Each structure stands twice: as C-alpha cells, then as structure tokens.
C-alpha cells in the first residue's frame, strides 16, 4: 500500500535533504538557483500577466459604450505595443489575464505596465505546495504508528511542550460554531470519516490551462472541490514541459485534506483526531493542482471565498469569515494579491497564510499587508529550521519536528489524509512514520484559533483578530534549544535552515496561545473614536463619536469616559464627557490627543486615543465701502467680498452691525448677506462690525470706522465763495476679532 511520505508542504518543488547529523531538525532546504531557473525557463514559453486598466482608459470607455462588461482588450493593447497578445480569462470590467509567446511573464508585465492605458500589470505566477522528500532519517519503520506525543500542540504547554497552544482550554469557551473557514488548497477528500459533515459546497477555481486540469486530474472551474490527486509523473513532465519540470515529480499530497483536518476534523466523535475548530464549517476551494497553481486562480479563490463576485463562477452563498492559505512562493506581494486581500479585509475577513518553508525571507502572499503570516516552531519553542522568517511574520505556531534522525518522528502534526499515491485510495491519518511537517500546518492551527475567536465574539473584525492574536502571544524562549542554536537574524539571502531562537522581528509577536486569544476575544472591548471634522482649524468645534466601538456578543456598553490627554491648552470639552459622543472647542494650533475608555456591563474595559491635528485658521472678515468718503445723505454700499476662508470650507453666514454712531446712519435692507447698504444722516464717525461664520461654525469679526462729512455750504452769489470737503474717508481700525461658536 502506498503511504504518505514525510513531507513539508508550502512552496516549490521536491527537494533533496542532506543526511548529515542533525539534518532531521533542519527540515527542507530551499530550491536551488538551478531549480528556480528551470522552473522559470519551463514557464517562459507562454507568458501570463494579470492586467488592470485605468478607469479613464480609452479601452474601458469603448467597452462600456459597447455594453461589454468583461475586459478583453489584448488585441488593442498588443497593436499599440507591437506585441502579439492573446486574451486570457476576464477578471472584471477593468482586469484580465493576458498571454503571449516568446518572452517571460516578468518581461511582458514590465512592458504592459509602461502603457498609459494600464494601471498595473503583474506576472501570473504559479504557487505550489512544497514537498520534503522521504530521506533516510525520515524513513518509515515498524512501530506504533502514532507519535508518542499525539496531538501535542493542542494541549497546555509545559517545560517539554513549550510551544503547545492550550487549545483544549479554549474549547471550554468556544468550538467554532457558526464560523466558516475557507481552505484554499488542492481540494479535499470529503469521504474521510473524520471529515464527514464538515464541508460546505465549495468550488474548483483551477483554470482549464493549468496543470491541475489535465486528463485524469479532474475537470476545472466548476462546483466540485474534490481533490483528484496532484501527482506528477515523468510522463507529465515529458508531455507538458511548459507546465512541469523534474522538481515537480512526486506522489499525490492530499494537502488540502490534511489542512482541513487540522482546522476542523470532527472533535469528540470517537474517531481519529480533533480539529482546532471542530464545530466550524469548512469551505473547500481548489486552487492548486499538479505542481501548484496560478496567482490568478488563487486570487479568484480568495475573492470567491469571501463572497465577492468572480467572473464565470456563481456567488458563494456561504462567505468565509476566515481564509487559510497554506501555499505561496518567493517574491514580493504583487498588486493583484494586495488588492484582493484588501477587498476581503474590508469585509472583516481574517486571512491566515503560511510563512513558507525556505528558511529565508517570507514570500507571497504571506508578505502581503494585513494578513496573519504564520511561522513554524519546534516543540521547544525555537524556530524550526525550514520555516521562513522576517518582519512580515505576525505570529508563530507549531509546525512539526522529528528530533531524531531515524525511526519514529516524535513531534509531527497528525491529521487526516489519504493513502493513494496517485488517484485516491483509502482514508488514513498521518502518523509517526508517514508524517507531515511544515508551516502549511502552522497556519491552520492559527486559522482554527481565529474561528474559535470569531465564534466567541461575532463582532470581531479580521484586523481585530490579528491584533488580539499578537497581543496574547507568549514570549519566545531564550533557552532549551540545541546547544549550537543561535539567535535568528533578519533574512539576508542565505537560508537559516537550522534551529534558532526567535525574536519579535523574525518570528512575529510570539507563540500562539489559543486559550488566551479566545479569552481576549470574549472580553474584548474595542474602543473606537471618530472625529468630525477629522482635522480642525483653531477656533472650530469638533464632534467626537464612539459609534464604531464594540463589545463581545451578548454584552452592552455600560459607560463612556472621554478625556484630553495631550494638548490640553489647545482645546476644551463643551459637553458631557460620559456619553457616547462628546464635543470640544479648539482654541490654538497644534495636536490635541483625545482618549476614550468604554466599559461593558460585565466590567471589561477598553481604551483608545486619537490625535486630532489643529491648524491655524485663515478665516478673516473684511469690509469694503463705496463711496469710501461719504457725505451726509449718501447711500454707502458695503461688501464682504474681501473676506477669506480656510481651504475646503465656505462662508455660511454674514452679520452686519453698527456698534457706534447709530444716530448718524442706519441700514436699509438686509444685514445678513454678503453685501449691505448704509444710509447716512449726520456728520461724524460710524463704527461698523462684520461677522462671518464658516460652514464648520468658526467665526471671525472685524470692526472699521466710516467718517461721514457734512454737505458743502452754498455761497449765495457774487462774491465767488468757495467750499471744500472735509470727509476723512474710511478709517481702517482693522481690529479683527475671532470668536468661537
């Protein structure tokens, strides 16, 4: 009977391991430069690029005018660039797959990105589940099949099982009920008895031109997420050199079935193993086939799993709250990946990604912003040799390690599997001799914990779950590893493929503590402040709101406490400070820091702060008069046209007043417009005031004096008398007064 070999899953290729002493703890080596070059060369016959067109591009406008709802613009784009391009699968109105021959995907992406019609273009690369071969020190043997430690990673930690996660303690609070966890992988074997009833209807997102769609390996782009096997034979390599090379050779992995068992195998059902979230539902999405899968399929799978629209696929009626990606490849997070992840993060989804098994820098999509990238730990809490590392890692969790060089593997991750070397065989479990290790199995432990948290507190967003996972992580140990273990350092291009002591800059915030994370979810009080306006000018009134705050399911907010903790001389509250909202008036330029503490009806509290920038105001009232030197009986036209207002604001109201000399002149008509009319009746000085108020409630006043002259006297004839004006015109007192509302 064919058995599952000892493997590490996640990235690329079937790799040879050294048999030197201690190699059992080093784990898989990264692909050599030669292997990587072969892979790139093999795929260069057909370049594939994901293109997104600019919203105002002529091709998009023309397509819209024709009523075309899918992007298929390769011909137009190719004619402009002098390239023979073929339309690939449309990915929306402005996004599509473009293919070409005779150049690499990277070269084509660079050419397309320079076109002014294109917003961005990125290579459509393949991502693979990586395999660790069955080397001699991993060899099977005749012994009790299960490892002595069993499912050690679920139990409370102790001096031996330093990285154990205390999941059993978390089960006292949550089992994951009501939460959907999407597993984007090779598909699943739903007939496994320990996975019976665990799956929702999934989808096969693999494209027809992918290696996962070859004859005998399942049909593609349909509602069947079954794993038909992902073996690659020499015949496959010979017949499809553009898809496969010798690094792909190997038996079927049943990788998605293994990951699904870790997330949510039936718990307390008297069968096999317990999943981390045994009451959650699993949404299988097949995105990997023979030798992996393309970015475009994985991206579509991410979006479909979250309930977003994907071209050619029905809308998923069971959107996932947690997405697990035990897959990846080298390189930076591309624009297409980040955009898709941003879309699902905006829906509140938690995206968990394995960091990788290269022992070097974290690859894509684990290095995308906002995901929970998971590194791998040995049972003693040190980094397992093969785990990738770096600042992108959010947290680390057990990945499986063997300790010894032969015989039974002591600390693997036991899970559901299948014994078929190619096509499906019988349902089995991995064990001490047919074991699986890798960050592919660290990620679903964290994804399952995220499901427990979401079940315990449905109001948690993905970003909040990420924050709580990191906040409750336990510190990494500094002792207990092998004698020669050093401290992990930042990736530098040379793999750190041996055990090392983790730091928070290489392995994330710490070691996963499922019980603490679920407890934090239950008691979580997320205080959130929003301000209107979000930036103020001195003298403006600001309204503060706590409407985005939340507490755990079944609880309510009992009290609010607002305070100014910075810049107290620049602002003051003009409302109560114990309500859901508060109001403050600003008086000077600078930064005002506002704090909010909310407490729920069970006494749990949460606090947050908001830094409110306050700028100097340019609001200034100004008066002009015509004539500027009136005589008694004149009508004077007054205007506020010279008044200035802050950028982005407008003057909402005007108020004209006579503050002195009211017996010498009076207004005729309205005094609340941008202009006013003053009728003079006696000589002397009249003092006017104009107050302007902007649309944010900020006011500015100015006072100016108007000197009214007497009418010139008549001479009465003969003598040639004379007269002269003695009006002094408009005296600009220029006293500007700034007021608050």
Reported as a pLDDT band with limits 50, 70 and 90, residue 214 is: low
Domain assignment present for 629:
yes
Name which of 31-35, 420-424, 495-499, 543-547 the model is least confident about.
31-35
- pLDDT tens digit string along 302-334? 999 999 999 999 999 999 999 999 999 999 999
Pairing of the two strands 395-398 and 372-377: parallel
Q: Supply the CATH number for residue 607's domain.
A: 2.60.40.10
Name which of 532-541, 669-678, 716-725 the model is least confident about.
716-725
Pairing of the two strands 651-660 and 500-501: unpaired
Is residue 653 a contact partner of residue 692, using CB atoms and an 8 Å limit?
yes
Q: What mean pLDDT comes out for the span 663-672?
A: 96
Per-residue model confidence (pLDDT) at position 107? 84
Per-residue model confidence (pLDDT) at position 198? 95
**412 and 539, same domain (yes or no):** no
What lies within 8 Å, CB to CB, of 705 at 6+ separation is: 685, 686, 687, 688, 730, 731, 732, 733
Of residues 368 and 143, more confidence is placed in 368
**346 and 258, same domain (yes or no):** yes
Domain assignment present for 33:
no
Q: What mean pLDDT comes out for the span 356-384?
A: 97
- pLDDT tens digit string along 97-149? 999 998 888 889 988 998 999 999 999 988 766 433 232 222 233 246 788 88
Q: What mean pLDDT comes out for the span 202-219?
A: 75
Catalytic residue among 124, 135, 185, 513: 185
Per-residue model confidence (pLDDT) at position 219? 65
Per-residue model confidence (pLDDT) at position 714? 56
Reported as a pLDDT band with limits 50, 70 and 90, residue 67 is: confident
**371 and 392, same domain (yes or no):** yes
Cα separation, 315 vs 302, whole angstroms: 13
Q: What mean pLDDT comes out for the span 331-349?
A: 97
Query: Which residues lie across from 52 on neighbouring strands?
Result: 95, 120
Is residue 417 a contact partner of residue 254, using CB atoms and an 8 Å limit?
yes
Q: What mean pLDDT comes out for the span 247-251?
A: 93
Is 34 a residue whose pLDDT tops 50? no
**212 and 289, same domain (yes or no):** yes
Give me the phi and psi of 376, to 5 degrees please. -110, 140
What lies within 8 Å, CB to CB, of 228 at 6+ separation is: 187, 216, 217, 218, 423, 424
Which of 615, 641, 664 is at the close of a domain?
Answer: 615
Domain assignment present for 258:
yes
**332 and 378, same domain (yes or no):** yes
**110 and 148, same domain (yes or no):** no
- pLDDT tens digit string along 581-639? 999 999 889 999 999 999 887 778 889 999 999 988 889 999 999 999 999 999 999 99
**86 and 137, same domain (yes or no):** no
Per-residue model confidence (pLDDT) at position 134? 33
Domain assignment present for 37:
no
- pLDDT tens digit string along 144-193? 678 888 899 998 999 999 999 999 999 889 999 999 999 999 999 999 99
Is 435 a residue whose pLDDT tops 70? yes
Is residue 329 a contact partner of residue 31, using CB atoms and an 8 Å limit?
no
Per-residue model confidence (pLDDT) at position 396? 99
* Structural domain range at position 106: 42-127
Domain assignment present for 93:
yes
Is residue 137 a contact partner of residue 19, using CB atoms and an 8 Å limit?
yes
- Alpha carbon of 202 to those of 171, 190, 255, 306, 575: distances in Å? 27, 11, 16, 12, 53
Active site residue 104: no
Per-residue model confidence (pLDDT) at position 404? 84
Cα dihedral across residues 202, 203, 204, 205: positive or negative: negative
Per-residue model confidence (pLDDT) at position 713? 65
Angle at 349 between CA 262 and CA 600, to 5 degrees: 100
Is 555 a residue whose pLDDT tops 90? no
Q: What mean pLDDT comes out for the span 577-581?
A: 97
Reported as a pLDDT band with limits 50, 70 and 90, residue 724 is: very low
- Which of 383, 381, 379, 386 shows the shortest CA–CA distance to 413? 379
Q: Supply the CATH number for residue 52's domain.
A: 3.30.70
Residue 77, both tokens: 């784009």
Residue 550, both tokens: 């939340």
**376 and 432, same domain (yes or no):** yes
Cα separation, 226 vs 224, whole angstroms: 6
Is 3 a residue whose pLDDT tops 70? no
Cα separation, 109 vs 602, whole angstroms: 56
- pLDDT tens digit string along 390-418? 999 999 999 999 988 788 889 999 999 99
Per-residue model confidence (pLDDT) at position 166? 95
Domain total of the chain: 4
Q: What mean pLDDT comes out for the span 42-52?
A: 75
Active site residue 440: yes
Active site residue 279: no
Which of 568, 590, 615 is at the close of a domain?
Answer: 615
Cα separation, 415 vs 273, whole angstroms: 6
Domain assignment present for 450:
yes
Catalytic residue among 194, 255, 396, 513: 255
**292 and 426, same domain (yes or no):** yes
* pTM score of the predicted model: 0.74
Per-residue model confidence (pLDDT) at position 352? 99
**149 and 238, same domain (yes or no):** yes
Catalytic residue among 279, 440, 485, 705: 440
**457 and 548, same domain (yes or no):** no
**580 and 506, same domain (yes or no):** no
Domain assignment present for 35:
no
Distance of CA 457 to the CA centre of its chain: 20
- Which of 213, 221, 267, 220 shows the shortest CA–CA distance to 240? 213
Q: Supply the CATH number for residue 381's domain.
A: 3.40.50.200
Which of 127, 161, 187 is at the close of a domain?
Answer: 127
Reported as a pLDDT band with limits 50, 70 and 90, residue 93 is: confident
Domain assignment present for 235:
yes
Q: What mean pLDDT comes out for the span 381-396?
A: 97
């Amino acid at each position: 009977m064919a058995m599952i070999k000892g493997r590490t899953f996640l990235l690329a290729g079937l790799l040879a391991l050294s048999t030197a002493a201690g190699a059992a703890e080093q784990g898989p080596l990264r692909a050599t430069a030669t292997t990587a070059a072969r892979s790139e060369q093999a795929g260069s016959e057909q370049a594939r690029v994901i293109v997104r067109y600019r919203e105002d591009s002529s091709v998009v406008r023309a397509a819209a005018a024709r009523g075309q709802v899918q992007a298929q613009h390769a011909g137009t784009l190719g004619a402009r660039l002098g390239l023979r391009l073929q339309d690939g699968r449309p990915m929306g109105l402005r996004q599509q797959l473009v293919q070409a021959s005779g150049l690499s995907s990277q070269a084509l992406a660079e050419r397309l990105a320079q076109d002014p019609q294109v917003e961005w273009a990125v290579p459509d690369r393949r991502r693979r589940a990586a395999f660790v071969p069955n080397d001699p020190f991993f060899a099977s043997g005749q012994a009790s099949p299960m490892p002595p430690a069993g499912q050690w990673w679920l139990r409370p930690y102790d001096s031996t099982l330093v990285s154990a996660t205390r999941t059993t303690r978390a089960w006292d609070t949550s089992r994951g009920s009501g939460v959907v966890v999407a597993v984007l992988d090779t598909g699943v074997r739903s007939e496994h008895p320990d996975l019976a009833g665990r799956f929702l209807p999934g989808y096969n997102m693999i494209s027809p031109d992918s290696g996962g769609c070859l004859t005998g390996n399942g049909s593609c782009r349909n509602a069947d997420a079954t794993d038909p096997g992902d073996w690659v034979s020499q015949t496959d390599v010979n017949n499809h050199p553009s898809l496969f090379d010798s690094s792909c050779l190997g038996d079927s992995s049943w990788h998605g079935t293994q990951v699904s068992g870790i997330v949510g195998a039936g718990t307390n059902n008297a069968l096999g193993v317990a999943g981390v979230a045994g009451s959650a539902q699993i949404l299988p999405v097949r995105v990997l086939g023979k030798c992996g899968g393309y970015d475009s399929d994985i991206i579509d799978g991410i979006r479909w799993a979250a309930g977003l629209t994907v071209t050619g696929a029905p809308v998923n009626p069971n959107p996932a709250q947690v997405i697990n990606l035990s897959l990846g490849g080298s390189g930076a997070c591309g624009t297409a990946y980040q955009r898709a992840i941003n879309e699902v993060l905006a829906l509140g989804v938690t995206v968990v990604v394995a960091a990788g098994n290269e022992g070097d820098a974290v690859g894509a999509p684990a290095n995308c912003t906002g995901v929970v990238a998971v590194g791998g730990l040995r049972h003693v809490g040190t980094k397992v040799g093969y785990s990738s590392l770096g600042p992108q890692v959010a947290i680390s969790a057990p990945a499986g390690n063997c300790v010894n060089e032969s015989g039974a593997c002591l600390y693997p991750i036991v899970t559901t599997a299948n014994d078929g070397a190619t096509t499906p065989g019988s349902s089995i479990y991995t064990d001490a001799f047919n074991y699986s290790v890798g960050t592919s199995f660290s990620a679903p432990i964290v994804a399952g914990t995220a499901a427990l948290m979401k079940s315990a507190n449905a109001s948690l967003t993905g970003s909040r779950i990420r924050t709580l996972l990191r906040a409750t992580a336990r510190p990494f140990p500094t002792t207990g590893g092998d004698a020669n273990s050093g401290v992990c350092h930042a990736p530098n291009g040379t793999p750190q493929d041996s055990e090392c002591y983790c730091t928070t800059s290489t392995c994330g915030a710490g070691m996963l503590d499922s019980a603490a994370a679920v407890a934090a979810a239950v008691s979580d009080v997320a205080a959130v402040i929003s301000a209107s306006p979000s930036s103020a000018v001195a003298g403006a009134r600001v309204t503060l709101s706590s409407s985005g705050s939340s507490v755990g399911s079944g609880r309510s907010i009992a009290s609010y406490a607002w305070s100014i903790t910075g810049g107290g001389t620049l602002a003051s509250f003009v409302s109560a400070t114990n309500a859901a909202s508060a109001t403050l008036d600003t008086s000077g330029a600078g930064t005002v820091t506002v704090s909010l503490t909310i407490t729920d009806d069970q006494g749990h509290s949460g606090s947050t702060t908001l830094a409110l920038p306050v700028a100097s105001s340019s609001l200034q009232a100004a008066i002009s008069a015509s004539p500027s030197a009136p005589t008694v009986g004149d009508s004077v036209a007054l205007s506020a046209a010279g008044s200035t207002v802050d950028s982005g604001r407008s003057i909402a109201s005007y108020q004209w007043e006579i503050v002195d000399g009211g017996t010498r002149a009076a207004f005729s008509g309205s005094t609340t417009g941008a202009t006013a009319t003053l009728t003079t009746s006696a000589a002397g000085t009249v003092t006017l005031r104009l107050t302007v108020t902007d649309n944010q409630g900020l006011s500015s006043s100015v006072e100016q004096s108007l000197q009214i002259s007497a009418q010139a006297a008549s001479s009465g004839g003969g003598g040639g008398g004379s007269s002269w004006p003695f009006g002094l015109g408009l005296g600009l007192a220029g006293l500007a007064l700034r007021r608050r509302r």
